[in-house]
Amino acid sequence: MKEYTVALAGNPNTGKSTLFNTLTGLKQHTGNWAGKTVTLAAGYYRYEDVQFKMVDLPGTYSLFSNSDDEEVARDYIVFEKPDVTLLVLDATSLERSLNLALQVLEMTDQVLICLNLMDEAKKKGLKINAGQLSKKLGVPVIPISARNNEGLEVLSDTLLKLCSGKMKTTPYKMRYSEELEAKILKLETELADILGHEFPARWLAIRFLDGDEKLIAALKNKLDSKGKGGEAHGSTTTFGRSSGRHSC
Ligand SMILES: Nc1nc2c(ncn2[C@@H]2O[C@H](COP(=O)(O)OP(=O)(O)OP(=O)(O)O)[C@@H](O)[C@H]2O)c(=O)[nH]1
Ligand SMILES: [Mg+2]
């Protein structure tokens, strides 16, 4: 059976583990306080004729090198290259989530955004135009309520289309000042010459220009371990299989 890997990323407390649990039938720790998921957990569920491997990343506000959590989440997205990064945003506080969303869109094209806690958003009288947001960001945006099992069929369907290449994205990329863009382009070209297209050269160039030493070390570590034929990363701790809870 064809298997696709999907990484769940997002701010703390946006319902990533709740979504993970609902889809896989596992029981990752959830609760109403930040920072519960500290290690990577993987679980599986089937949809149509494929199996999704879901990886529950720690919640972070950014993906620089400010903490172990940020490094774990960032390294997974960039170096492990899941088929899709599923960004779980809190529909009740979108402005806070969009910063992270823009960072992820710089790292990979394979992004699906879900707006979770739509039940709460509705209660608060918030109206979000998911179609318009999707147009602006260049990736699909699906409203869901993970706790109430709402929107998950559309979510799975869109995941499948993205993973199988039936749906293409055109992620919004931040543009910087002309001077900075010239430097990014120069470094990006040099990096692409050295590394090929395996890693996101533009994003690496931006991070390098920002002086992200820890990222440079992580990349070196990844390249060294590849040279030795080993896997650089993979602190996956929890595994389980399920045919999925929602009606697919
Ligand atoms: N009302 C509502 N609450 C939800 C929904 N999804 C999750 N929650 C609640 O939001 C809180 C946080 O959920 P978690 O799944 O632990 O969040 P998380 O993103 O994994 O958090 P971290 O691991 O800290 O990053 C819990 O109290 C959940 O029950 C939803 O769709 N609606
Ligand atoms: Mg969690």
- Please answer whether residues 52 and 3 qualify as being in contact, where contact means their C-beta atoms are separated by less than 8 angstroms: yes
Rounded to an integer, the average pLDDT of 213-235 is 73
**Dihedral sign for Cα atoms in the order 230, 233, 235, 239:** negative
| Domain identity same for 153 and 218 | no
pLDDT > 50? residue 248? no
More confident site: 29 or 210: 210
pLDDT, one tens digit per residue, over 168-189 is 999 999 999 999 999 999 999 9
| Domain identity same for 26 and 133 | yes
Mean pLDDT of the chain: 88
Domain count, the chain: 2
Query: What is the enclosing helix (H) or strand (E) of 87?
Result: strand 84-90
Model confidence at 197, in pLDDT bands (50, 70, 90)? confident
Give ligand 1 pocket residues (Cβ under 6 A).
10, 12-18, 30-32, 34-37, 59, 116-117, 119-120, 145-148
Please identify, by atom number, the ligand 1 atom nearest to the C-alpha of residue 34: 24
| Domain identity same for 156 and 194 | no
Q: Is residue 70 exposed (0-12), middle (13-18) or buried (19+ Cβ within 10 Å)?
A: middle
Model confidence at 86, in pLDDT bands (50, 70, 90)? very high
Please indicate, yes or no, if residue 148 is contained in any of the structural domains: yes
pLDDT, one tens digit per residue, over 111-124 is 999 999 999 999 99
**What's the gap in Å between 88 CA and the centre of ligand 2?**
11
pLDDT > 50? residue 72? yes
Please indicate, yes or no, if residue 235 is contained in any of the structural domains: no
| Domain identity same for 113 and 58 | yes
Please indicate, yes or no, if residue 76 is contained in any of the structural domains: yes
What's the CATH number where 64 sits? 3.40.50.300
| Domain identity same for 165 and 53 | yes
Please indicate, yes or no, if residue 239 is contained in any of the structural domains: no
Which range of residues forms the domain containing residue 27?
2-171
- Please answer whether residues 199 and 120 qualify as being in contact, where contact means their C-beta atoms are separated by less than 8 angstroms: no
Report H helices in the chain: 16-24, 68-75, 94-107, 118-123, 130-137, 152-163, 178-195, 201-209, 213-227
**Dihedral sign for Cα atoms in the order 198, 203, 207, 209:** positive
Ligand 1 atom 22: residue of nearest CA: 12
Indicate the SS3 state at residue 238.
strand
For residue 64, give both structure tokens: 């620089």
| Domain identity same for 202 and 101 | no
**What's the gap in Å between 29 CA and the centre of ligand 2?**
7
Query: What is the enclosing helix (H) or strand (E) of 142?
Result: strand 141-143
